[in-house]
Structure 1
Amino acid sequence: MRRFSLWLRGKPLISDSMLALLLLTIDVLAVGDADNKIAYLVLGVLLVLPIIFRRTHPRPAALALVLLSIAASVTHWAAEDPSEHPALLGLGVMLYTLVAYVGRREGLWYLGALLFEGVIAHLLVGKPEGADIPFTALFYALCWTLAEFVGARHAYDNEVAARLAVADYDRERQAHDAVAAERTRIARELHDVVAHAVSVMIVQADGARFALRQDPEIAEKALGTIASTGRDALRELRRTVELLRIEHAPEQLPQHGTAGIAKVVQMMRDTGLDVSLQLSGELDTVTPEVSLGIHRIVQESLTNTLRHAGPDPRAAVRIERGATEVVVAIVDSGGVPTARTPATCAEVRPVRITAPASVIPGSGLGLVGMRERIAVLGGTLTVGRDDHGGWAVHAVIPLDRTTAE
């Protein structure tokens, strides 16, 4: 039964047709009091027809029902037939429909039309009589009151449905944003792992090819570096993929620390890059997220130096942990060979951007990845030329948002 009622709720024409049929049945049962039964039945059928369309076309149906009620009064007056139509109960049903589904203003207009129709009926056929007027008024008042309750319920249901729709949209949008953020994180991690290793391997392979005939010892060393870099990259890639498969495991992020940074610097030195390193503060006690961010920034910056800083590249790395932040600074020779001494850690300082990111040499996915990583950590990243023409990367990572002291 409940399933049938739910099915009828979405089909107003069917349920209203059943109501009209019920009113017609009651009207037919009262046909015995009519003098002209055929005219009575025809008028009874016409009176219930607007009930069928009371919810799909409420305004036209209400107007038609009022006009038919007036026509019934005129017909009875002309034929001097005292019989009444029980189907006129549909007038109250229509009042309920207008107030509940359309609005109070339309209900008031309809109530005025009923008052006008009642005056005409009273003048023509004497119906309703004086004693019936209070009962008629009470009937319409009950219809109005019931409509108010039902209308309030409909308004509440519509509001709940609207809120559920908004909640569903927000949930879908958040799910989409989460998927996009996860894809970005995966792409950033894989780029940091693969790009660094491949860049080192390409440089070493080119060097080994040129030194193969003239200096086999250097070529053999380069090939060893390629093999070692490949193994480290494969191991790092496996660890990254394993972490990405775990839904919630932030504590399992790789804690690179000072040992990991020193290993990256030493690997770059083995490729021929002149790198100096300066560390200060308790860097091994920062959170895994900050530690990984520092490691990736150093790794990506030195990889870019190896790619673009010319035939005799030099770089200086300074990492300093303060009370509230970690400062990471990397400066290289910038691809401009000069006679000045190699860069030192003292020369690494905050730099200003001298060109938009779209025209910065080498500002590809690596630089974008660094910016995204720093943004996630709530820090700032500055890149550009330093005062000596070298290329510098300066990152500041706050500790208050990411490190539990």
Structure 2
Amino acid sequence: MRISAVPSRFNHWIRTRPLQSDIVFATVIWAFMASLMFIASSTNDTAPYDFTWWSLPQLALGLVPIALRRVNMLAAVSLLIVATAFSAFTSWDFIAADGTAYLILTYTAAVHLTPRWSIVTGLIVWITATAWIFVVNGFWDPTSSAYAMVAVNWAMGITSYFIGWIVRYRKQRLHELTERTHIAEATQAALAEQAVGDERRRIARELHDVVAHHLAVIGVMAEGARRSFDSQPDKSKEALDTVSETAREALNQMRSLLTVLRSSEEPETQPLPTLDSIRSLVAQNREAGLPLKYTVKGDYFDLHQGASLAVYRIVQEALTNIIKHVGHNAQSEVILSYEPQQLSVRIINDVGDGAHSPQRAGGHGIIGMRERAHLYGGTLSAEVDDHGGFAVTATFPRAHAQDPATLAKAEQL
């Protein structure tokens, strides 16, 4: 056992074993006081008392209340009163001669009892001590030192009570600080857990967008390659090349995304998509056989990285829904509009033969797109027209979506 652990173990034993520890405490005081009185009595012929072996049980009786002070204060005070009265009217002077029990009980009451009951207990203890002094030394004798002894005893009692009150206050403050620390740690742990959960949901959403879109493209191209394998081998080879390229791109994006789970010192393999990546996304879907048109309107302005990624993911999810649920003969279009107060993106298509609306297909795609738009103060709507076509429209307020650095420069112009 380490030496540094001894004090903590001793303090734990004192707190958890009050009766046993106080018995040891009272025994130590008894041995110390008996030694002092015996030495004083044997070396000083003018000592006011004669300490003999019969004085040892008398001194021990006066210290018994110390052993009960934390387990039963009422019993300790009652025993002290009885012992004091017995000492006052008998020759057993050593029961209350040292006064240690009075000081320790007063201190204990101030530490462990409520303020009201600690004051009541202190008054009872020291009224008892005062009565003993007057009975033993004489109340009516003007030459008696009883009054001086009473004044000294009350001063010592008040000091003992004040020390106990300070200890009680410090314990209360320590307990409050400990509780606050525990609450702060619990709150911090809850916030950290919530942050981890939010990050996991964000990663899951990103993985869904990446994997769902690219697998949809791979599925379409693989099906086309299978159908044209015998009749048009060249087109089958082109389709398989597109499958290979799409798979590699999906893998690279997944690697870039999963770097958030690694050490911050590891470099990212590929940056996350932005608005500029929409053009390559459109080209990829065209290679998959989707008749797709891409239009950009208005004057370009920079967007916050998160908002730019949100726009890209909305377009990606909408095109994924088109590939999964709409025929390949359907005409589709992506319109990106830079407006004075907002950025809007619209993905529309006409339903082809044998297709059904993405909205009827259900799933979490539209919910995820709407959450991305709301994250940057935007809105998203998904509607079916009278001809069965499907349109997704997302708007991002410029004040929320634009890069803060760009906004600051614009305000200075």
TM bucket normalised to smaller: 0.7 to 0.9
CA 1:21/1:387 → structure 2, altered by over 3 Å: closer, same or farther? farther
2:208 is equivalent to residue 191 of structure 1: yes
The match for 2:362 is 362
Shift in CA distance, 146/194, structure 1 to aligned 2, threshold 3 Å? same
- Is the partner of 1:276 in helix, strand or coil? strand
Instruction: Please give the secondary structure, in 2, of the residue aligned with 1:397.
Output: strand
Quote the residue 1:160 is aligned against.
Answer: 177
- For 1:153, the aligned partner's letter is R
The alpha-carbon deviation at position 287 of structure 1 amounts to 2.9
Contact kept, 8 Å, 2:273 with 2:312, in 1: the verdict is: no
Are 2:59 and 1:44 equivalent residues in the alignment?
Answer: yes
Per-residue deviation, residues 46-98 of structure 1 (Å, max 9, x unmatched): 4434424534x3xx1x2222222222233234434444534532222222222
Quick check: 2:214–2:250 contact (8 Å CA) kept in 1?
yes
**In the alignment, structure 1 residue 268 sits paired with structure 2 residue 279:** no
Partner of 1:346: none
Alignment of 1:242-261 (within 5 A): 242=259, 245=262, 247=264, 253-254=271-272, 256-258=274-276, 260-261=277-278
CA contact 1:100–1:150 (8 Å) conserved in 2: yes
After TM superposition, give the deviation of residue 294 of structure 1 in Å: 1.4
Tell me whether 22-31 or 94-103 shows the greater mean CA deviation. Answer: 22-31
TM-score, length of structure 1 as denominator length: 0.79
Q: For 1:365-376, what aligned pairs fall within 5 Å after superposition?
A: 366-376=365-375
Contact preservation (8 Å) 2:253, 2:272 = no
Partner of 1:227: 244
Task: Check if 1:150 corresponds to 2:149.
Answer: no
**In 1, Cα distance between equivalents of 2:344 and 2:189:** 38
1:327-366 correspondence to structure 2 within 5 Å: 327-333=344-350, 361-364=361-364, 366=365
Structure 2 residue aligned with 1:100: 111
- Per mean C-alpha deviation after superposition, the further-off stretch among 217-226 and 178-187 is 217-226
User: In the alignment, what sits opposite 2:295?
Assistant: 278
Give structure 1 stretches of 5+ with no counterpart.
339-354
TM-fit CA distance, 1:199: 0.7
In structure 2, give the amino acid aligned to 1:10.
H
* RMSD over aligned Cα atoms: 3.5
Structure-2 separation of matches of 1:134 and 1:2: 44
Q: Do the aligned residues in 1 keep the contact of 2:58 with 2:94 (CA within 8 Å)?
A: no
Q: Is the 8 A contact 2:109 2:122 kept in 1?
A: no
Q: Take 2:392 and 2:115, find their aligned partners in 1: how far apart are those partners?
A: 69
The Cα shift of 1:18 comes to: 4.9
Residue 150 of structure 1 deviates from its aligned partner by: 1.8
Match of 1:75 among 75, 86, 90: 86
* Residue of structure 1 equivalent to 2:76: 65
CA offsets, 1:299-353, max 9 Å, x none?
Answer: 1110111101246433332222234432222233367879xxxxxxxxxxxxxxx
1:147–1:243 CA distance, 2 compared to 1 (3 A) = closer
Paired with 2:94 and 2:117, the residues of 1 have a C-alpha distance of 30
Q: Stretches of 4+ moved more than 6 A in 1? A: 335-338
Q: CA deviation at 1:297?
A: 1.1
TM-score when normalising by structure 2: 0.77
Equivalent in the alignment of 1:296: 313
Comparing 181-190 and 153-162, the one that deviates more: 181-190
Q: 3-state SS of the aligned residue for 1:319?
A: strand
- Is 1:89 aligned to 2:95, yes or no? no
For 2:29, give the aligned amino acid. L
The 5 Å alignment of 1:176-215 reads 176-215=193-232
The answer to which of 173-182 and 282-291 deviates more is 282-291
Q: Distance in 2 between matches of 1:278 and 1:225?
A: 24
Counterpart residue identity of residue 274, structure 2: H
Q: Give the fraction of aligned pairs with identical amino acids, expressed as a percent.
A: 27
What is the DSSP-based 3-state SS (H/G/I as helix, E as strand, rest coil) of the residue aligned with 1:286?
Answer: coil
Who is 1:24 aligned against?
30
List runs of 5+ in structure 2 lacking aligned partners: 42-48, 140-145, 407-413
| Residue of structure 1 aligned with 2:333, choices 316, 337, 362 | 316
Q: Which piece of structure 1 moves more, 153-162 or 192-201?
A: 153-162
Give, in whole Å, the separation in 2 of the partners of 1:42 and 1:335.
109
**Alignment check: 8 A CA contact 1:212 1:219 kept:** yes
- Asked whether the equivalents of residues 308 and 335 of structure 1 are also in contact (C-alpha less than 8 Å), the reply is no
Q: CA deviation at 1:16?
A: 4.1
> Is the Cα–Cα contact under 8 Å of residues 186 and 244 in structure 1 kept in the other structure?
no
Deviation for aligned residue 1:197: 1.0
242 and 282 in structure 1: CA distance in 2 versus 1, 3 angstrom threshold? farther
Contact 1:293–1:373 under 8 Å retained in 2: yes
Change (3 A) 1:76 1:234: closer
Amino acid at match of 2:100: L
Of 274-283 and 239-248, more deviation after overlay is shown by: 239-248
Give, in angstroms, the shift of residue 242 of structure 1. 4.7
Matched residue SS, 1:108: helix
Alignment correspondent of 1:347: none
Give the stretch that moved more between structures: 187-196 or 220-229. Answer: 220-229
Q: Is the 8 A contact 1:256 1:295 kept in 2?
A: yes
